Chains A and B, each alone.
Chain A
Amino acid sequence: MNATLPQTETLEIPKPPKRLLTYFEDGGRTVGSWLLTTDHKRIGILYLYSIVAFFTIGAIAAAIMRLELITPAGDLVTSDTYNKLFTIHGTVMVWFFLIPSIPSVLGNFVVPLMLGARDLAFPRLNLLSWYLFNLGGLLALYAIAIGGVDTGWTFYTPYSSTFTNTHVVTMVAGVFMAGFSSILTGLNFIVTTHKMRAPGLTWFRLPLFLWSNYATSVILVMATPVLAMTLVLLSIERIWGVGVFDPQLGGDPVLFQHLFWFYSHPAVYIMILPGMGVVSELVTCFARKPIFGYHFVAFASMAIALIGFFVWGHHMFTSGASVYSGLVFSITSYLVAVPSAIKVFNWTMTLHRGRIFLNTPMLYALGFIGLFTVGGLTGLFLAALALDVHVTDTYFVVAHFHYIMVGGMVTGFLGGLHYWWPKITGRLYPESLGRLAALIIFIGFNLTFFPQYVMGYLGMVRRYHAYAPEFQIYHVMSSAGASILGVGYLLPLIYLIWSLKHGKKAPANPWNATGLEWQTPSPPPKHNFAQTPIVTRPPYQYSAETEEHMVYG
């Protein structure tokens, strides 16, 4: 990352007379000081609380589903309850966990630090964004509490607008609110990245996390409004019974799908690009080598964001769209593989002849590269028209996007969380437990989702709570894997909380990393830097000499 002030260049700057207060201390420790804070670091932590809560809810829904699926008969929950469970799982995990996970938690915390800025461009907007997010989340929880929704997270019309008797409008209102929170966060990142870079920090000296965060923000800002309006139209049709999407009233249900996926496919890249950004940071730091092909990795992020806007039709190959539109969307979907592969190859080349340290963040990064590759390649299967018809709405699709979203994004999030944990909290987490958890998650994840590829290919359809007995073996494996995965997720929750009190005090730069965020104390003072840093070098100037100073290793 950015070159930062090497010690020799800071000599002329007098040391501040006494220790600066950390962002925990400065401004007070009261609840009010947190709820009214405009400090990006505190808001990042507020987001962390929120998304952990939502993740727990989504995970509980998943756990009940996996329990139900151990036996072929639908014996634990009714089919109605099952429908509501997968809707809770999808809606909560997509909008209230994955989308804000890396951008709003880690991004909020590290973006200004990486830029050498005191805060985001619009700190109050940032706080408003957190409140909107929680308000939306509470509405969604309210919809769940009063009976739930059974449409699936996609809210397809006319079922959602005309037929279901569940609380679609309340749920949709919650998603609408969370959408505005996304827009404000994205807008804040875009402006901050453009206008608040430290002196000398040119675009091509930006850490790659900032490039992918920027690409993500562009998607947040350009795609989310379309979803918002689509949900408004859906609610209008549902509340007043007037035709927009319902074919009986002259509407076009496929128009809903077009509008929905015009948002939701780019949103899939919201749920992977930030993970890629984190992995770029981790791979170069723990291989002690500059990133291979910096410009390619940076532009690949932008290319994924751009091409991502032109692939939505691949969700509708079986919705009655014409073969020609299918062909076009199939080709554009293949195109996304190019920048994605560029990233994977560049990470691999960075590892090549590097001095590799297998610390916890690096284990997650390596896991990400493997799982993302599997998820990405099976995405190509789905982009192929003929094969897609065969596996549409099967567990093959479920396995594919879980490899991207869980194997990719959640792994990236955990890798980033461990990497920046010393910076965020000022404490080191227990390294051996960290490695153990990373390993458990990798094993549990593959055991959960790999059998789903197989059974999906064999014809196991998604969203059914009862199934033919020949699929039982795969479902049992998947459920067993899910329980291992659950342990894997519980472990970091426990030892990270433990480390807050009992972890060793973290130095400013425990990984001897090159980013600006490591040039300030851990945890940072309220305004991040005692002096605005000046950047004189390109990022990722890792070399063999620095490896001696790794804290762990």
Chain B
Amino acid sequence: MANSHEAVAEQFDDMPQQIEASTLGMWTFLATEILFFGALFLAYIVYRHTYAQAFALAGRHTLILYGTINTALLLTSSFTMSLAIHSAQEGKNKPLLGFLLLTIFLGCGFLLVKGLEYHEDVHEHLFPGAHFTRELPAPGQIFWVLYWVMTGVHSIHLAAGIGLLAVIVWMAWRRRFSSYYHNPVLISGLYWHFVDVIWVWLYALLYLINRH
């Protein structure tokens, strides 16, 4: 077991207080994230309502195969993240490291597939601007602006999540966690699951609606 006394920061009285504070901090941060994405979801709803037909047509150009593979990758990564948390709670360091690395691996896989998809999107002139495809009605371009911004911001969040988990791996490597102290694993998991949940919404809104 790591020296758990050392892990309590000086502003806190004891470990439970520190754990509660960091957990509440992460939940509060996630609340801000919901509002951050919320602006995009609102814009999406407004324009979906205004340009129902153009959005339905534009939406059919998203590459559902990539989207579905990515959904599978990310949902699986949430599963492995949960297993990592479980291992941390049990104080088993090796499985913890393994599941964390697996989670990172799946996250990187998501970004790779997303990159391939972006490449193909650009190839099909689905990047908004002067070269945007002429097959779609003009407001269809707004769908694609939102597609790029929403998935782009999501990917940045996922990349940040991978960075976060890399730090956690490093901490686990240094044997900083125990069944008594593993809160960083838990709150990183909260963030990871959040990024996953956002994707579930994006998948539904960008890939699935009006797909006959």
A residues engaging B (CB < 8 A)? 117-123, 183, 187-188, 190-192, 194-196, 221-226, 228-230, 232-233, 236, 240-244, 249-252, 255, 258-259, 527, 532
Contact = CB atoms under 8 A, between A and B. Distances in A.
A221 B46 contact: no
Contacts of A120: 11
Contact of B25 (A121, A230, A236): A121
Contacts of B37: 229
A195 B138 CA distance: 52
Interface string B22-53: 10110011011101111110110011001100
B43 A250 contact: no
B139 interface: yes
B20 interface: yes
A250 B138 contact: yes
A229 B39 contact: yes
A458 to B, nearest CB: 38
Interface in B2-18: 9-13, 17
Contacts of B20: 195
A487 B51 CA distance: 56
Contact of B139 (A123, A229, A250): A250
Contacts of A190: 24, 28
B122 to A, nearest CB: 14
Contacts of B46: 252, 255
B83 to A, nearest CB: 28
Nearest to B16: A195
**What range describes how many residues of B lie at the interface?**
35 or more
Contacts of B17: 195-196
A236 B28 contact: no
B147 to A, nearest CB: 11
B204 to A, nearest CB: 20
Contact of B51 (A224, A230, A250): A250
B145 interface: yes
A255 to B, nearest CB: 6
B149 interface: yes
B142 interface: yes
Given A240-B128, A241-B129, A250-B142, A122 B25 contact: yes
B167 interface: no
Contacts of B129: 240-242
A243 B17 CA distance: 48
A124 to B, nearest CB: 9
B44 to A, nearest CB: 11
B36 A229 contact: yes
A225 B39 contact: yes
B21 A196 contact: yes
Contacts of A242: 128-129, 141, 145
A226 B39 contact: yes
A233 B21 contact: no
Interface string B95-109: 000000000000000
B25 A191 contact: yes
Q: Which 10 A-B pairs have the closest CB atoms?
A: A225-B36, A229-B39, A119-B11, A242-B128, A225-B35, A195-B21, A250-B139, A121-B21, A225-B32, A191-B25
Given A118-B11, A226-B38, A230-B39, A244 B31 contact: no
A244 B35 contact: no
Nearest to B130: A241
A120 B12 CA distance: 9
Given A195-B20, A240-B128, A259-B42, 20 more contacts: A187-B29, A190-B28, A192-B21, A194-B24, A195-B17, A195-B24, A222-B31, A226-B38, A229-B36, A229-B39, A233-B39, A241-B129, A242-B141, A243-B128, A243-B139, A243-B145, A250-B138, A252-B46, A252-B50, A255-B42
B157 to A, nearest CB: 13
A117 B13 CA distance: 9
Contacts of A194: 21, 24
